[in-house]
Structure 1
């Protein structure tokens, strides 16, 4: 590898059986402090609604205590689903964060609504403007001149850094044409990262914020001392997805023991494999060569890592392993 790759965290604040949402959120803060000491650059939290298994409904709110608990880590959203919100409200929220924590706030944006139609209908942009208009409004509000006669206050001296997060070539090209740094969500759609990031680099147009392309990729990684332990840890979140899809959409996530006791049907096993196989699960000896090949194929400037496991100590340890692996590839 000829260039240093930054590593960052993507977090959904998973809620495991026997825990409360507050437990999950406090673990996110503890994890942020741990990865800062490991040299991670950013800590981003996702946006999910009407999903008791994931406590990240409000990235701006959660970013505040994470910023307060860390020293230099950049903190932000991965991503604020902008169609769910008024751009003006988002500008005010992230303006507060950026005023309190100068040059440490990122505003990752998504073009989708996510979640159920019912939750999206209750959250949506009240003026029903399109994403292009919302992005233009955000930029106008953050450039210090306001937008259409209004100003989002406070107006931070250093505005939050705008990003686009997506999982398609079209989202990559959109980010490039608007001069935004881009994150491809391999964690959601495996297999498309090389094509998307190449398209992003080819289509990139410099902007006032971003003079050079910044191509990133977000992956799921669970690394433990053995392949067996890593697989056992990774299965719990996927089993939780199965439960939410087939048994109870309001379920929280199963424990490691509950998952180990479950006998997966052939259909469930196929789903499990579809979610785990494209990602990076195993011991360091197993993950290192696969991740090295992936990095060679995608050539990212930054790697975002999502680790969703029921054992918090094992989660921190997984991020330790990833930091060592990326430093060595």
Structure 2
């Protein structure tokens, strides 16, 4: 069987473009994924980053779902510490009512930004994640004790279930919890150097069937860029490399064009950042990227691979996803 592939879209804002253009681009990518046979497209939640426009995944989800026919659309994810659990239940029930059977609810424990921005969001400490998740599920399932102050609350819209839940992780901390709850699990190998295999093994070992999932479903998220040649792919990936180095040096700016990035002078510290993080980026021609993704999926024990592609040109991003779909024979 063909390995299921999906798309993780951060709504990148390249240098020389505008945020409205980046937001419009999510529609063309979602439509392409729908046409090519990708399983799902998710939108990440990030705040306070000039190079990323995906601060409101639920708005992007509603827009993408309204402009596609088949593909699942969801959050990758809702950063629960930034939100009141009841509001999340209401929002994603509404989305699932509008687009039945096509919405996913990915939930993460991180804040998705720097400390100052998170304080403006009234974000809670990640240590409250288990409590917030339990509260969210209690609202959905109506399982508050009779004497709990939230027990009488009517959650609306009524008679609409939450979409399938996926817990997100980058270290394995959420893996066993995802299994015990009987939900899906997604591992962020696109930025985490922690091996995914132990997390997936813990998830499967702890898994208990639920109303949402009768079997485990593990998604491996990777960063990949495909071009007709390895040489071109590596040239285009210089945008991601330099932007990552600048970001982790405290220089927040939009994604640079490869013409600039390939000539950008990096300090020894920044070069070390790129050398370390670059090990996680899958860059090459169709067959090189396909072979690497298949090897990583097999090693991790993944049921599905979700791909995020960083390139300055939106046209090159679309081309990369086309080439990847062709390499894997998606339909």
TM normalised by structure 1 equals: 0.92
1:167 aligned to 2:165?
Answer: no
Cα deviation, residue 294, structure 1: 1.4
> Which sections of structure 1, spanning at least 5 residues, go unmatched?
none
TM-aligned CA distance change 1:156 to 1:126, over 3 Å: farther
Alpha-carbon shift at residue 226 of structure 1 (Å): 1.0
C-alpha distance in 2 between matches for 1:189 and 1:129: 20
Query: Equivalent residues in 2 for 1:65-80 (5 A)?
Result: 65-80=63-78
Partner of 2:147: none
Residue by residue over 1:63-90, the C-alpha shift from the partner in whole angstroms, topping out at 9 and shown as x without a partner, is 1111111111111100111011101111
Unpaired runs of 5+ residues, structure 2, are: 145-149
- Cα separation, partners in 2 of 1:150 and 1:128, compared to 1, 3 Å: farther
Match of 1:322 in 2: 324
Give the deviation of 1:322 after TM superposition.
1.9
The match for 1:59 is 57
Output one character per residue of 1:266-299: Cα deviation in whole Å (capped at 9) or x when no partner: 3322222222222311112322322222122122
8 A contact 2:164–2:183 mirrored in 1: no
Is this contact kept in 1: 2:226–2:289, CA < 8 A? yes
The number of residues matched between the two structures is 325
| Whole-angstrom CA distance in 2 between matches of 1:277 and 1:190 | 8
Alpha-carbon distance between aligned partners in 2 of 1:225 and 1:318, rounded to the nearest angstrom:
9
Is the CA contact (8 Å cut-off) linking 2:81 and 2:125 kept in structure 1?
no
Q: Aligned partners of 2:65 and 2:229: how far apart in 1?
A: 34
> Contact conserved, 2:244 with 2:274, CA < 8 A, in 1?
no
In 2: Cα distance, 1:94 partner to 1:132 partner: 19
Give the Cα–Cα distance (whole angstroms) in 1 for the partners of residues 125 and 151 of structure 2.
Answer: 14
The answer for the alignment partner of 1:179 in structure 2 is: 182
Distance 1:114 1:83 in 2: 10
Of residues 299, 305, 308, the one that matches 2:307 is 305
CA contact (8 A) 2:287 2:327 kept: no
Are residues 129 and 183 of structure 1, via their aligned partners in 2, closer, same or farther at CA, if it must alter by over 3 Å?
Answer: closer
For 2:28 and 2:19, locate their aligned partners in 1 and report how far apart those are by CA, in whole Å. Answer: 14
For residue 262 of structure 1, the aligned residue among 244, 261, 264 is 264
Which whole-Å CA distance do the structure 2 matches of 1:114 and 1:223 have between them?
27
Contact (CA 8 Å) 1:99, 1:155: kept in 2 or not?
A: no
The question of whether the paired residues in 2 share the 8 Å contact of 1:53 and 1:253 is answered with yes
Alignment TM-score, normalising by the size of structure 2: 0.91
Change (3 A) 1:172 1:45: same
